[in-house]
Amino acid sequence: MKRIVFILLNLVGVSLNLLAQKPVEVALKLRDGSNVSGTTNLQDINLVTDYGKLIVPVKNVSAVKVGIPFDKTVYDKAKVYLGQLANSNEDMRKGAYNELIKLGMKAIPAICDFINDPKNQTEYTGEFTPDHALNELKMNGNIEDVSSTKDVITIDNEYVIGGLYEFQKLEVKTEYGTLSIPKEKIKSMEVMYMNADGGNELSFKLIASKNISTNQSGGWLKTGVMLKAGQKFSIIANGEITLSSLSNQKYHPDGSYETANGEKYKDTSGTDEYSAATYPSYGNVVYKIGENSADTHKAGAKFSGSAVSSGMLYLSIYETVYNAANTGSYTVKVILK
């Protein structure tokens, strides 16, 4: 009997641990075009996919793209109003149209299904049509893509999966106070997990065949880490890559390299990891703050310093020529103070 009780207590403990809320830092893009940054508490994400339920630990979530919300009750109401838009009485059409608009963006899935049904292609004319309703709702909600009702979760800045992430609203603590933001107002959010002690330690992988600073398509890895000007942080990197653009020489994060015949050299700037030199050399891990920043900073294998500005942290491998035939990768740890 004691053993059964012990097992039950353990299961309760596991459940409570999964359901416990964890502090995270978020950067939200709202559908009205505004941005909100702050902290909130999230449980591990319970994502309902086409293949079953998936629990994603908050610490592994990099970003969430919110889809068009689906509501069965609203969907059924919208179908009734859509049917009335074909009525010969203009007042009835106008009334049905206005009721459809009042349903808001949750009516969009029903309208899209209705428009895509071939039998409805020629029955609607004039001002109060499903197409006009769709365009008005898109404009009201600042919505570009109406094709997906799924929420898309990015895991470890690398893996992407879609499904239904059920939450009603986020309570976000900002420098101006706490905001309660409904899910339907959110377009996307970047997520950064915060350890209980207030520190942060995240790991990333830089792939040599992709994450090269001069690669115009995905060369810079978007970490999801938001830095504030003056904030202290560290970068520690290890691993080995082969740069086809540099005679297939093998490079390390500190810039040291080995030629094809086995000769080893320190980094190409002639300095080691303890040097004060800040200009990056081939193979170095580099970073920038802000997607559009033109300032590339050397991190090397070990870096510790302060953010020169506020913004998102991006990581890459320094090389002046991009070659997709590069191989290998670096493991990079970012530690926030």
- The string of pLDDT tens digits covering residues 269-289 is 544 444 446 789 999 999 999
Q: Let me know: does 21 contact 192? Beta carbons within 8 Å.
A: no
Q: Is 190 helix (H, G, I), strand (E, B) or coil?
A: strand
pLDDT lower than 70: segments of the chain: 1-19, 121-125, 147, 157, 194-199, 267-277
Name which of 61, 57, 93, 99 is nearest 77 in CA terms. Answer: 99
- The pLDDT score that the predictor gives to residue 144 is 78
Rounded CA separation 196/145 (Å): 37
- The pLDDT score that the predictor gives to residue 272 is 43
Global pTM? 0.58
- The pLDDT score that the predictor gives to residue 213 is 95
Q: Is 233 helix (H, G, I), strand (E, B) or coil?
A: strand
Domains of the chain, CATH where assigned: 23-67+150-193 (no CATH), 72-140 (no CATH), 200-336 (2.60.120.430)
Can you read off the two tokens belonging to residue 90? 């203009």
End-to-end Cα, the chain, rounded Å: 48
- The pLDDT score that the predictor gives to residue 268 is 54
Helix 108-115 vs helix 130-140: crossing angle, to nearest 10: 150
DSSP letter (8 states) at residue 212: B
pLDDT digits (tens, 9 = 90+) for 48-106: 998 999 999 888 888 899 988 888 999 999 999 998 988 888 899 999 999 999 999 88
Q: Let me know: does 163 contact 151? Beta carbons within 8 Å.
A: yes
